[in-house]
Amino acid sequence: MFPESIAKQLRDRRHNAQAVTNNPHLMSLPDKELFDQTQTQQRALITENVPDFITIDATYRTESTPHWGLIFTTNKQFPRGNHRTTGALITALHNLLTNTPTPTKPTSTITWLQKPKK
């Protein structure tokens, strides 16, 4: 899970971001229930937990239920604990959010977050 500081810096850039780590209730939820919660809030979810959330995505698709999106990343792409990596992660998310139109309906988009170009 990503720290509140990342969500705060995105909010400072005028993005509507929330961190699961800032909400004890959300932190206690199993993955499927957490994803369901993000859907009721019309939010995409960013995660490194690709195996579990790709399975949840498949369930939504099997049930013909569109969702508000998943953004996947990996610890290899954005290593945790490195302040330069945190900055790159924030820049990558900011670029994605700035350059992607805000959907008016769920589209079940899956995005692999890319490192920002230098």
pLDDT in tens, 64-106: 999 999 999 999 999 887 777 889 999 999 999 999 988 899 9
Q: Is residue 26 part of a domain?
A: yes
Q: Is residue 117 part of a domain?
A: no
Q: Which amino acid is at 83?
A: H
Do the Cβ atoms of 53 and 43 come closer than 8 Å?
A: no
- Is residue 56 scored above 90 in pLDDT? yes
Q: How many domains, the chain?
A: 1
Residue 25 lies in domain: 4-112
**pTM (2 d.p.):** 0.92
Q: Is residue 8 part of a domain?
A: yes
Q: Which long-range contacts (CB under 8 A, 24 or more apart) does 51-54 make?
A: 54/110
